[in-house]
Structure 1
Amino acid sequence: MPAALMIQGTGSNVGKSMLVAGLCRAARRRGLGVAPFKPQNMSNNAAVTADGGEIGRAQALQALACGLAPVTDMNPVLLKPETDTGAQVIVQGRRLTSTRARDYARLKPRLLDHVLESYRRLRAAHDLVIVEGAGSPAEVNLRAGDIANMGFATAAEVPVILAGDIDRGGVIAQLVGTRAVMAPADAERVAGFVINKFRGDPSLFDDGYRTIEDCTGWPGFGVLPWFPDAWRLPAEDALDVAAPYREAGLHVVCLQLSRIANFDDLDPLAQEPGVRLTMLAPGRAVPGDADVVILPGSKSTRGDLAFLRAQGWDIDLAAHVRRGGQVLGICGGYQMLGQSIADPEGLEGAPGTDPGLGLLDVETVMRADKTLTEVSARHVPSGAGFRGYEIHIGRTDGPDRARPFARVAQAPEGAISEDGRIAGSYLHGMFRDDGFRAAWLSTFGAASGLFYDAGVEAALDALADHVEAHLDVTGLFAAAR
């Protein structure tokens, strides 16, 4: 009989995604056919799936932990924030609509059927489905119509493990407080708890652990210490892109846009021993010693272009280019480098046209049809082949397209300026390819010293070892039903 278990958290960023990935790899190593599932995710860091849709990048990593290709059923509802109060709604891999936060509640009853449909397909095809919640079940003001936490768990009859984050402090209050505000029926669905991100001697928390058990009536399944290799896995949040401090090396600066998307493009560069990566926070000037500046993807290109200008980064970029520095724009960043960005249908905000940065002689027009595809490409300057993916709206054309960044099935892709120092491409994921990354770094006189995908696999195995060593994994899987 196929089984399922749901990991919910006492709040956002308590480590649910990492915990699910570790349990997925542990289940796979025990010979179980396992799949990840997240009913609703909110992220601009998306992955293109084998069935031609998009899901949250965290679920793609969890699929890798399971030894599976990611499919849209693993994350049937994906919310991609476009403004502070609105988001694009992706349902089973495809854009349904854009909506304001206050209007989303009216959509959720329609979405539950899609969520359950995807979940049931996964459950029928696997021995075990490990489900990840979103936010916290303590947000009881959102319980009516909920599809992300207890609303889903109740509709699908899935037992819940509640994870608390001791690193942020107050973990006893997190768990006991969550129990106090939950409806009795929801509290009964909780099969136990785990403590995550512990630093130091776990025995010092023995009394606290027993206090949680006594006050909640829930059994504990263990205390999980901080996982030191977490930075080697693709980041779910732009603030989590971890680059070890280095005083020397090729200096790559990435502008941290307000709606930055698919920022895991930067993870392989962060781990290169010969690269010094700076994720440049708003309000900081582009360093004068930058060798290359990357304009990353964005969920709101025109909005982030205005944000870029508000930081004075347009002036910094012009000075960087005058000094002989290079610039690479990826997806939305590529669009910003051109002469203009037109959005006649108002797909990412109010209809209109904005001038671009003028560093590439191309123009972009936003169109409703969205490109979602995995590709095999060849980098034109170096001849290096690589795998990547496209996930964007908009079409870009102009004279600099005569010098393409890459070729996809012999068709030109992207653009390079006449002097070769400004480049733009719609292709995400290029730096994951060891051969391409080595070729690209060599153009700056830097060498590659990293096997990225092998490192991710090793980190997932280490995560599974970590989970097995510190949690009652057998008990957790026994709780699944």
Structure 2
Amino acid sequence: MAKAIMIQGAGSNVGKSLIVAGLARALVLRGHSVAPFKPQNMSNNAAVTVDGGEIGRAQALQARAARREPVTDMNPVLLKPETDIGAQVIVQGRRVGTMKAREYGSRKAELMPQVLDSFRRLAATADIVLVEGAGSPAEINLRAGDIANMGFAEAAGVPVILVGDIDRGGVIAQLVGTHAVLPAQDRDRIAGFAVNKFRGDVSLFDEGVREIAARTGWQAMGVLPWFDEAWRLPAEDILDLRGRPGGALKIAVPRLGRIANFDDLDPLSAEPGVTVDIVEPGLALPGDAALVLIPGSKSTIADLAAFRANGWDIDLAAHVRRGGHVLGICGGYQMLGREVADPEGLEGAPGRHDGLGLLDVTTVMRPEKRLALSHGVHPASGATVEGYEIHLGSTEGPDCARAWLTIGDRPEGAASADGRVRGCYLHGLFASDGFRADMLQELGASSGIAYGDTVEVTLDALARHIETYFDVDALVRLALPVRV
């Protein structure tokens, strides 16, 4: 019978996802069969699964850490923000609609049976299920109908380890304060605590650990130092998306308000000869960039308007006049065309919107979402490519006659007559070493890594980090049999 334990955070972005990934790899190396599970996630960074749905990118990384294929049951509820008050709701891998926060709050409890169904199916495939919470259980105003933290833990009978983030300060208050505000039945579910992101000598916090244990009665599971190699793994949260100084070749990436699937950038950031410059709103696109890469977007039309409001359309036109290269992926590809039409109002009021006009193509938004794991070829180099497609809308026009990828037996993408402006729908193509090397060579640089190997080495290093500073033996003892 499978056992399960849940990692919750005393706040958002405390490092839960990374800890679960590290625990998954550590337990696999010990000989366990491990499955990651997150009842509810909120992220526009999604992954396509082998069973044809979508889940949060963090759960896909955790699946890789556990050495298994990602499936929709690993993240049965995914919320993809479209506006400040509304999100697309994905249940067991499929879009069920768009809801405002208040509407979702009143209906989320209805999703608990599906969440538990996914949990049961997943538990039948492993001997340990590592469950990740969302946000913080201290948000007691959200406790009614909760499916993400203590609501799930109660329904599934799963014990909890609570993680605090010392890097942001006040970690004692985070953990002891959570103990203070939780109702007794939730407080009693917490079996232990850990402190994450410590910088320096962890023994200097020994007295802090004793104070937390004394004030909560929870078992201390460890103090985890800052993991310096975390940047080599795909980032889950837009808060983690940062430019990283590297080599002489500069790739500029405008930070879109609804940026999606930004794991496309990770293989480029890992290249020692490349600097990926994340351009914040209000700043100009740098004039010395060799490539401007416009990433995916959850709301193409809104991000297109913001692109213009920031003056990036003017910067981009100047970049092209200087002989620079442009690549748009998914939503970025749609923006590069002459027009984005939304006849059914999928992204707001129905209408037609002028694109950036750098590709002679037009996109029409349709409600049917394309979800696919895709394999193909980059004919110019002969390199194989693989990745995933996840988008609304279809794109057509004269520049599609210069498609620069072949997916299966169909052409994919579009290019300008001089080949310096290109777009496509294939996410993840930079993880294909041959294609990435060819593209960097075209831009005047060379590739210095095998990206997949880099991720695997980093996951193994993360597992060693967890084994050194986290009481994995105690975690296995504290996990309880799955009985739902």
SS in 2 for 1:106: helix
Aligned position for 2:119: 119
Aligned position for 1:446: 445
Aligned position for 2:311: 312
User: How many angstroms apart in 2 are the aligned matches of 1:225 and 1:445?
Assistant: 38
SS in 2 for 1:420: coil
1:21 and 2:25 correspond = no
**Residues 395-414 of structure 1 mapped to structure 2, 5 A cutoff:** 395-414=394-413
Deviation by residue 1:29-63 (Cα, 9 ceiling, x = unmatched): 11111000000000000000000000000000000
Deviation by residue 1:231-267 (Cα, 9 ceiling, x = unmatched): 1100112342355423x42111111100000001001
Aligned position for 1:106: 106
Q: Give the counterpart letter for 2:354 in structure 1.
A: P
User: How many angstroms apart in 2 are the aligned matches of 1:470 and 1:341?
Assistant: 51
1:251 and 2:234 correspond = no
Superposition misfits of 4+ residues, deviation over 3 angstroms: 241-244
**How far did 1:444 drift?**
1.5
User: Which runs of 5 or more residues in structure 2 are unaligned?
Assistant: none
1:41 and 2:15 correspond = no
SS in 1 for 2:8: strand
Aligned position for 2:281: 282
CA contact (8 A) 1:241 1:264 kept: no
**How far did 1:289 drift?**
0.7
Aligned position for 1:211: 211
CA contact (8 A) 2:267 2:430 kept: yes
Aligned position for 1:189: 189
Q: Give the counterpart letter for 2:68 in structure 1.
A: L
**Residues 81-480 of structure 1 mapped to structure 2, 5 A cutoff:** 81-246=81-246, 248-480=247-479
Aligned position for 1:76: 76
CA contact (8 A) 1:231 1:242 kept: no
**How far did 1:10 drift?**
0.3
CA contact (8 A) 2:176 2:212 kept: yes
User: How many angstroms apart in 2 are the aligned matches of 1:368 and 1:465?
Assistant: 45
**How far did 1:410 drift?**
2.4
**How far did 1:219 drift?**
1.2
CA contact (8 A) 2:15 2:196 kept: yes
User: How many angstroms apart in 2 are the aligned matches of 1:110 and 1:351?
Assistant: 31
SS in 2 for 1:168: coil
User: How many angstroms apart in 2 are the aligned matches of 1:348 and 1:381?
Assistant: 35
CA contact (8 A) 1:382 1:440 kept: no
Q: Give the counterpart letter for 1:237 in structure 2.
A: D
User: How many angstroms apart in 2 are the aligned matches of 1:401 and 1:37?
Assistant: 40
Which of 340-349 and 139-148 deviates more?
Answer: 340-349
Deviation by residue 1:126-155 (Cα, 9 ceiling, x = unmatched): 100000000000000000000000000000
User: How many angstroms apart in 1 are the aligned matches of 2:107 and 2:403?
Assistant: 42
User: How many angstroms apart in 2 are the aligned matches of 1:281 and 1:219?
Assistant: 42
User: How many angstroms apart in 2 are the aligned matches of 1:263 and 1:213?
Assistant: 39
SS in 2 for 1:393: strand
SS in 2 for 1:230: helix
Q: Give the counterpart letter for 1:168 in structure 2.
A: R
Q: Give the counterpart letter for 2:181 in structure 1.
A: V
User: How many angstroms apart in 2 are the aligned matches of 1:418 and 1:110?
Assistant: 52
User: How many angstroms apart in 2 are the aligned matches of 1:410 and 1:471?
Assistant: 49
CA contact (8 A) 2:244 2:277 kept: no
Q: Give the counterpart letter for 1:57 in structure 2.
A: R
**How far did 1:230 drift?**
0.5
**How far did 1:445 drift?**
2.3
TM-score (normalised: structure 1): 0.99
SS in 1 for 2:367: coil
Sequence identity (%): 65
Which of 390-399 and 100-109 deviates more?
Answer: 100-109
User: How many angstroms apart in 2 are the aligned matches of 1:454 and 1:99?
Assistant: 40
User: How many angstroms apart in 2 are the aligned matches of 1:212 and 1:386?
Assistant: 50
User: How many angstroms apart in 2 are the aligned matches of 1:416 and 1:342?
Assistant: 20
User: How many angstroms apart in 2 are the aligned matches of 1:381 and 1:364?
Assistant: 25
Q: Give the counterpart letter for 1:122 in structure 2.
A: L
Deviation by residue 1:108-167 (Cα, 9 ceiling, x = unmatched): 122111100000101122100000000000000000000000000000000000000011
User: How many angstroms apart in 1 are the aligned matches of 2:42 and 2:164?
Assistant: 20
Aligned position for 1:61: 61
CA contact (8 A) 2:242 2:278 kept: no
User: How many angstroms apart in 2 are the aligned matches of 1:418 and 1:275?
Assistant: 27
CA contact (8 A) 1:41 1:78 kept: yes
User: How many angstroms apart in 2 are the aligned matches of 1:284 and 1:203?
Assistant: 42
Q: Give the counterpart letter for 1:179 in structure 2.
A: H
Deviation by residue 1:391-419 (Cα, 9 ceiling, x = unmatched): 00000000000000211122111100111
CA contact (8 A) 1:231 1:241 kept: no
Q: CA RMSD in A?
A: 0.9
User: How many angstroms apart in 1 are the aligned matches of 2:297 and 2:398?
Assistant: 24
SS in 2 for 1:32: coil
CA contact (8 A) 1:109 1:145 kept: yes
User: How many angstroms apart in 2 are the aligned matches of 1:278 and 1:382?
Assistant: 26
CA contact (8 A) 1:241 1:266 kept: no
SS in 2 for 1:229: helix
SS in 1 for 2:204: helix
TM-score (normalised: structure 2): 0.98
Q: Give the counterpart letter for 1:20 in structure 2.
A: V
User: How many angstroms apart in 1 are the aligned matches of 2:342 and 2:278?
Assistant: 28
SS in 2 for 1:80: strand
CA contact (8 A) 1:253 1:286 kept: yes
Q: Give the counterpart letter for 1:331 in structure 2.
A: C
Deviation by residue 1:314-335 (Cα, 9 ceiling, x = unmatched): 0100111111111000000000
Q: Give the counterpart letter for 1:279 in structure 2.
A: I
Q: Give the counterpart letter for 1:435 in structure 2.
A: G
User: How many angstroms apart in 2 are the aligned matches of 1:359 and 1:23?
Assistant: 46
